[in-house]
């Protein structure tokens, strides 16, 4: 005699297949996702190339007004050069700010067993490292002269490795600042906090032009890189969490015959 027993189990995908869906936010996940990030250009589709084209076109258009903007800013530069908003913007984009803030979130996540804090710290490290790698590579390849070099907005020495004065495009402070702000904004739960998260990044944009460290187009490209990379990192983890939620809703059905 054959009997059929229908067994339905509501199983969390995260428990059965942790390598595919679980966000552990550890070294192993970081390594795997870093390799995935490096491979991304090979997976781009039409919309991705459109974004690249729009950013490139925007940067080129701003280059045409870089010099007039700088001239206007320099006429009033001395008054607010070391003002609090300008300095806050500069500090937000400094190289040491991402590890400090990410470390604070990570420490809180570890001590308080807070998954959200751990996630934010992890994503800040990723977004900052990935976007900075892109920015530093472009700085060397493009070799654009910084405004204080007084060589004009269209002076380039490509593949300039060591001369800081020719590492203007893209703006590194803006890459850091906008990557961090994007991660914070995406993880915020209220609209007000989502908007406030971008305030320090906006100050970074202004400060780098005001302190004559970058052209406006440098800051635009740096900000775009930071936003896109920060968005990619957060989206990646949200997609994994979404996969976990879906698998928890749909049961795994096993039929045993004997």
Break the chain into its structural domains and give their ranges.
4-35+49-257
Whole-structure pTM value: 0.87
CA distance 145 to 156: 6
Give the model confidence (pLDDT) of 60-70 as tens digits: 999 999 999 99
Lowest-pLDDT choice from 36-40, 57-61, 67-71, 248-252: 248-252
Peptide bond into 169 cis (omega under 30): no
**Which CATH number fits the domain 4-35+49-257, given the four candidates 3.40.960, 1.10.10, 2.60.40, 1.20.144?**
1.20.144
Residue 256 has pLDDT above 90, yes or no: no
Give the model confidence (pLDDT) of 191-228 as tens digits: 999 999 999 999 999 999 999 999 999 999 999 999 99
Residue 249 has pLDDT above 60, yes or no: no
Name the one residue in this structure whose structure tokens are 């459109």. Answer: 50
Question: Tokens representing 206?
Answer: 């202004």
How many other CB atoms sit within 10 Å of the CB of residue 24? 13
Residue 7 has pLDDT above 60, yes or no: no
């Amino acid at each position: 005699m054959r009997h059929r027993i229908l067994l339905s189990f509501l199983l969390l995908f995260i428990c059965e297949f942790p390598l595919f869906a679980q966000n552990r936010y550890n070294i192993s996940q970081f390594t795997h996702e870093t390799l995935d990030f490096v491979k991304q250009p090979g997976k781009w589709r039409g919309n991705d190339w459109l974004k690249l084209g729009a950013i490139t076109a925007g940067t080129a258009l701003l280059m045409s007004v870089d010099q007039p903007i700088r001239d206007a800013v320099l006429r009033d530069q001395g008054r607010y050069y070391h003002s609090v908003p300008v300095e806050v913007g500069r500090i937000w984009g400094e190289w040491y700010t991402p590890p400090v803030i990410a470390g604070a979130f990570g420490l809180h996540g570890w001590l308080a067993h807070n998954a959200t804090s751990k996630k934010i710290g992890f994503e800040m490290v990723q977004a900052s490292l990935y976007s900075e790698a892109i920015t530093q590579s472009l700085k060397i390849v493009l070799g654009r002269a910084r405004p204080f070099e007084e060589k004009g907005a269209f002076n380039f020495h490509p593949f300039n490795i060591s001369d800081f004065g020719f590492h203007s495009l893209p703006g590194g402070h803006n890459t850091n600042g906008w990557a961090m702000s994007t991660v914070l904004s995406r993880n915020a739960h209220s609209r007000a906090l989502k908007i406030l998260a971008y305030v320090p990044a906006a100050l970074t944009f202004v400060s780098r032009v005001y302190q004559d460290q970058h052209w406006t187009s440098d800051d635009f490209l740096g900000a775009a890189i930071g936003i896109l990379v920060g968005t990619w990192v957060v989206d990646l983890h949200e997609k994994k969490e979404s996969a976990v939620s879906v698998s928890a809703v749909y049961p795994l059905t096993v039929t045993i015959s004997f």
